[in-house]
């Protein structure tokens, strides 16, 4: 159950951060989820790719340009460094809580939640010691249209290739930082509200997978701007604040060595996205159609 929740949480992070919007450098009409960063004193270009954290194997594809960009880079940088044992321990703790879910609800609310959880193949007793964020992850375990044995984790596939090619592995933030952001975005009551929308999430997930496969970043952006799934407060906590923190550490990584950054797709664009924030710092950032 814990492994399934962790997989699900990765998917929800992907879904709730899928709003990248880009233009193809050749036609000006297409889309790209891979960007090249140069200029502003960099001796070698770095790359940023927008990801969909978790996919079914039938939908999984790693485009040649992404693999070539990774090969050309010295560092592989994820949101969190999953090769750090301390970070893995922190991640496991993130899904547990000292305060039971049932203790935070009235008897009527607990009964309603138990009914809702039946749609996810579980009950309140089974998840009572889980955090609200772990509970939220159940949404994606139902939305993913394949058994967990057929799941591919996009960053993990990239990580394996980076390790094989002896790249240096780094992270943009700590699990603790991510946990603080998630706590600001999703409390227990808002999580229960989201759990009621399981059918809507299944439809959303399917559309987003297809858009990602087609690199249709504009469609990805449009799909998740629905206020049913992410309000202004959640966007600030999950996207804006984290983007601003990441852009503070990225320049030093890029200056020392060429870096390949793999982050959830929505972190790229928007007024406070990574791309415009880097441009504001003086970098040349352009979409990549091929390498």
**Phi/psi of residue 180, each to 5°?**
-60, -40
Rounded Cα–Cα distance for residues 244 and 33 (Å): 19
- Tell me the pTM: 0.84
Q: Rounded to a whole number, what is the distance in angstroms from the first to the last CA of the chain?
A: 41
Q: Sign (positive/negative) of CA torsion 98, 103, 109, 110?
A: positive
Neighbours of 45 (CB within 10 A): 19
pLDDT (tens digit per residue) in 251-263: 999 998 999 999 9
Assess whether pLDDT exceeds 90 at residue 21.
no
Cα–Cα distance, 54 to 49 (Å, whole number):
15
Helix and strand numbers, DSSP H then E, in the chain: 15, 8
- Read off the pLDDT of each residue in 44-65 and give the average, rounded to a whole number: 91
Task: Using the predicted structure, report yes or no on whether residue 11 has a pLDDT greater than 90.
Answer: no
pLDDT higher than threshold 50 for residue 1: no
73-103 pLDDT, tens digit per residue, is 999 999 999 899 998 888 777 777 778 999 9
pLDDT in tens, 224-247: 666 777 788 888 888 899 999 999
pLDDT tens digits for range 154-191: 899 999 999 999 999 999 999 888 888 887 888 888 88
């Amino acid at each position: 159950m814990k492994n399934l929740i962790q997989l699900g949480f990765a998917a929800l992070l992907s879904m709730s951060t899928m709003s990248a919007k880009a233009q193809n450098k050749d036609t000006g009409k297409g889309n790209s989820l891979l960007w090249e960063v140069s200029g502003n004193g960099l001796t070698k270009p770095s790359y940023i790719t927008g990801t969909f954290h978790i996919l079914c194997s039938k939908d999984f594809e790693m485009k040649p340009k992404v693999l070539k960009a990774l090969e050309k880079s010295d560092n592989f940088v994820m949101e969190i460094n999953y090769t750090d044992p301390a970070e893995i321990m922190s991640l496991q703790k993130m899904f547990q809580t000292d305060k039971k879910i049932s203790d935070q609800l009235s008897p009527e609310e607990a009964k309603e939640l138990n009914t809702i959880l039946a749609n996810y193949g579980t009950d309140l007793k089974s998840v009572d010691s889980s955090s609200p964020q772990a509970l939220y992850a159940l949404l994606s375990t139902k939305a993913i249209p394949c058994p967990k044995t057929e799941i591919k984790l996009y960053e993990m596939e990239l990580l394996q290739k980076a390790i094989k090619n002896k790249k240096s592995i780094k992270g943009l933030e700590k699990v603790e930082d991510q946990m603080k952001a998630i706590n600001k975005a999703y409390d227990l009551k808002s999580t229960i509200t989201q759990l009621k929308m399981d059918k809507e999430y299944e439809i959303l997930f399917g559309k987003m997978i297809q858009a990602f496969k087609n690199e249709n970043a504009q469609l990805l952006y449009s799909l998740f701007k629905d206020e049913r799934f992410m309000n202004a407060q959640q966007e600030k906590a999950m996207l804006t604040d984290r983007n601003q923190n990441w852009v503070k550490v990225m320049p030093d990584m890029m200056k020392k060595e060429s870096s390949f950054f793999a982050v959830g797709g929505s972190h790229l664009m928007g007024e406070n996205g990574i791309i415009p924030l880097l441009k504001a710092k003086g970098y040349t950032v352009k979409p990549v159609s091929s390498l």
